[in-house]
Chains A and B, each alone.
Chain A
Amino acid sequence: MKMGKNKAWWVPWAFLALPLVLYLFWVILPVFQSLAYSFTKRDSIIFGTQWVGFRNFARLFTDGQFWLAIRNNMVWLVFFVGIPVPLGLFVAMLFNTERRGNRLYKTLFYLPMTLSFAIIGTMWMWIYNPDFGALNTFLRMVGLDSVAVQWLGDKRYMTGALVAVGVWRQVPYVMILYLAGLKGVPGELVEAAMIDGASWWQRFRHVVIPMLAPATVVAMTISVIDSLRSFDIVYVMTNTKARAAEVLASYMYSSTFHYSDYGYGSAIAVMQFLITLGFILVYVNNVLKNEIER
């Protein structure tokens, strides 16, 4: 449809007005509100407001728990991006061929995505139960008793156990993104490469992967954001009390709502925002540079 020149400039804006106002009110405004709160000492939204300048931020830098949360978030980032993205692509490639039962496997694979984190968390808590859980029962059955540890009760394994659950749910999500992307790879292009004598790997590396770039950008960006804002699984599976597994979002939550330290909680939120923004900007900047070079 061609837009007529006589259409007034304000028409699209009129359609956008309501969602835009809601977005400004519910998303943009709270961001600035958090920023403003982070410079105060306050014990609720309403009470005990006192301007403290950068004191909350200064405290962050000497707070061991904050650094632990950052470290845990980095563990999340590495594994949450490093595993689901290639694995999701691999699974998508498997399912992209016409094979009997493909549809069934695809659906089965996708099922975890349909469950909420609360349910996934509860389910995995049972699987991880040190005495009766499926995981340790299996490990003991195959003679790996020494590996049957307290997955959620031991500080050393907690974050790893939580990330594994997150990865389990993220792989099918990435798979769907790539399956959609693969639909957009023209068959002729792959055939042409085949005729030119390109091996499977060469076709994959030089034809399919570049064609999947947009899907990769989406998968990476979403995985980075999801890993840095991970909260649900940590909250459900540790009730945020197990501080060894604390991530920035859960630390923000416990500071704000358990200890009624809204100012400090807001400062953590601001840091989390900046870290996420940093990663995304660096990544998107790289992608754009590559696009332009091409």
Chain B
Amino acid sequence: MRKAFLLILAICLVLPVATFAQKQTEIIVMSNYSDQAPKDTMAAVAAEFMRLNPTIKVTINTVAHEQFKTQLVNYLTAKNPPDLLTWFAGYRMQQHAVKGLLEPLDTAFPGGKMEKEFPAAFKDACSFKGKVYMMPNSWYWWAVYYNKDVFASLGLKPPKTWDEFLAVCEALKKGGVAPIAIGAKDTWTAGGWFDYMDVAVNGGDFHKQLTAGTVAYTDPKVLKTFGYLADLSKKGYIMPNATSYSWQEAANVLFDGKAGMYLMGQFVKDVAPADKKDSIDFFKFPLVGANTKYGVDTPLDGFMMPKNSKNKVAAKKFLLFMATKEGQELFAKPLGRLAANINVPVPNADAQRGLDMVKGATWAMLFYDRDAPEEMAAKGMNAIVDILQTPDNMNAILAALDKERVRIYEELK
């Protein structure tokens, strides 16, 4: 009798443990990391987390960037939304926080608060009204990427000033190579040109006013910036048929040595074939005139959680893992990006140079379409592409753009 009682007791004790062990919580991560390299890396991060936390299953749904963008509001407002979403810091995140669609993430960081292991400078871009809504994952820099082999064959050196840059363009053009690659079918590629050119010409403080909507696009200073861009086009320095190609297609033109330079984010290396990766290097955007100060585009990517998420506890656990030194390193290292967590060592010499370039900068921008409202940036980027294509229409294009600026910022009030 006693034996039977003990047996039943043992079963009663073991059963719930056994069923508990079988019961998994599934969290859904909607990801826009649709290029192969970041997609694989994200899967590796999730696999490591699941190994450490067998009771949580992480399912990653990857959606191509454009579709992701158009669906984002639907994801956030769904009754049964995904538990985590990849997205951009800055205005792009804050526009959803304003509407109360996001879950605060202040405690989902190692040590219970963001400042502990993340740079204080990131907090603003990840917060809204004092609350953190984004766990920054990785960041990178934009710079002028160039084909080392092409430069070597023409005896060229990375330029430091605008005059040197124009000389390099001229030499490349004479050498039968398109000086500047742009995949302008994706208009955002022109956004980088706008950020860098305007900061180089007018400084970062002025650029900030422009993205905040307080300066007109018809301001003489803005005209001066666009004048530089129009000049590149007039001189025939932009690769032919640029508006027919996506950013990846234009990157291939650079990799193949048919173009010399490409102003791009560090992720351009994600799409370089293994045997071409080493022939691609970068240099700082050239200084204009007597300016010695410079700015850099440093987009910050991360994760946010919809307010309606059904598995907040498990999802925050995953976030916390991704915020740790280990989690961040797992993601950033294979991609050669910079982790947001300060304890993660810089992954390689390239990244060290990128970091040094950022540290030496007077101004850091997130990116045109993250610093300015999305619609403004989208229309602005269209205007830049239009100007590159028809530089003689510059004034009319900017006048139309400024009309949009007035309306867009008025509606935000």
Residues of A within 8 A of B (CB): 41, 43-48, 59, 64, 129-131, 150, 152-155, 239, 241-243, 257-261
Query: A48 to nearest B CB, angstroms?
Result: 7
With A46-B77, A153-B241, A153-B243: A258-B69 Cβ-Cβ less than 8 Å: yes
CB-CB under 8 A from B55, the residues of chain A are none
- Total number of B residues with any Cβ neighbor in A under 8 Å: 28
Tally of contacts, chain A with chain B, CB under 8 A: 57
User: Does B374 count as interface, using CB distance less than 8 angstroms?
Assistant: yes
Q: B77 contacts which of A44, A242, A259 (Cβ < 8 Å)?
A: A44
Whether B243 contacts A41 by the Cβ 8 Å rule is no
The complex places the Cα of A59 from the Cα of B242 at a distance, in Å, of 33
Q: A47 contacts which of B99, B245, B375, B407 (Cβ < 8 Å)?
A: B99
Whether A259 contacts B374 by the Cβ 8 Å rule is yes
Q: Which residue of B lies closest to A55 (CB)?
A: B411
Query: What is the interface of chain B mostly: helix, strand, loop, or mixed?
Result: helix
Q: A259 contacts which of B187, B244, B375, B389 (Cβ < 8 Å)?
A: B375
User: Does B186 count as interface, using CB distance less than 8 angstroms?
Assistant: yes
Whether A258 contacts B378 by the Cβ 8 Å rule is yes
User: Does B66 count as interface, using CB distance less than 8 angstroms?
Assistant: yes
CB-CB under 8 A from B94, the residues of chain A are none
Query: B147 to nearest A CB, angstroms?
Result: 18
Scoring B240, B244, B389, B411 by chain A CB atoms within 10 A of each residue's CB, the highest score goes to B244
Whether A130 contacts B99 by the Cβ 8 Å rule is no
Query: What is the interface of chain A mostly: helix, strand, loop, or mixed?
Result: loop
CB-CB under 8 A from A43, the residues of chain B are 73, 99
The complex places the Cα of A2 from the Cα of B319 at a distance, in Å, of 71
Contact flags B357-393 to A (C-beta < 8 A → 1, else 0): 0000000000000000011001000100010011000
* Residue contacts A-B, CB under 8 angstroms, 28 given: A41-B411, A43-B73, A44-B77, A45-B77, A46-B77, A47-B77, A47-B99, A129-B244, A130-B240, A130-B241, A130-B244, A150-B241, A150-B244, A152-B244, A153-B185, A153-B241, A153-B243, A153-B245, A155-B386, A155-B390, A239-B66, A241-B186, A241-B187, A242-B243, A258-B378, A259-B374, A260-B374, A261-B375
Q: Which residue of A lies closest to B70 (CB)?
A: A257
The complex places the Cα of A131 from the Cα of B185 at a distance, in Å, of 15
Q: Which residue of B lies closest to A44 (CB)?
A: B73
Q: Which residue of B lies closest to A125 (CB)?
A: B244
Whether A153 contacts B242 by the Cβ 8 Å rule is yes
Closest 8 CB pairs of A and B: A153-B244, A153-B243, A257-B70, A130-B241, A259-B375, A44-B73, A130-B244, A150-B241
